[in-house]
Structure 1
Amino acid sequence: MTEAPLHIPPLADDEIHIWRCRWAGGAGERAFAGILRGYVGDEAVPIERGEHGKPYFPAPHDTLGFNWSHSGDVALLALGRGSAGFEVGVDVEAVRPRARALELSQRFFAPPETARLQGLPEPERLQGFLTLWTAKEAVLKAHGSGLSYGLHRVAFSLNKEGAMPEAFEGDVGVAREWQVRPLSFGDGLVAAVAWRGEKRALRVFTFPL
Structure 2
Amino acid sequence: MAAAYSDQTLITQVAGKHADHAHFGDVVSGRPTSSATLPSLVVRMLRHGEIYDGARVLDVGTGSGYSAALLSRLLGDGRVTSIDVDPYPVEAAAARLDAIGLHPKLVACDATGPLPGEFDRIVSMVSVRPIPPSWLAALKPGGRLVTVIANTSLIVTAVKTADGKAVGHIARDWAMFMPTRSGGDYPPRSHELFDLAREQRGEQVSRGRFPVVDTGGAWELRSMLEVITSGGIEHDFEG
- TM-score, length of structure 2 as denominator length: 0.26
More strand by share: 1
Q: Which has the higher contact order (CA 8 A, sep 6+)?
A: 1
More helix by share: 1
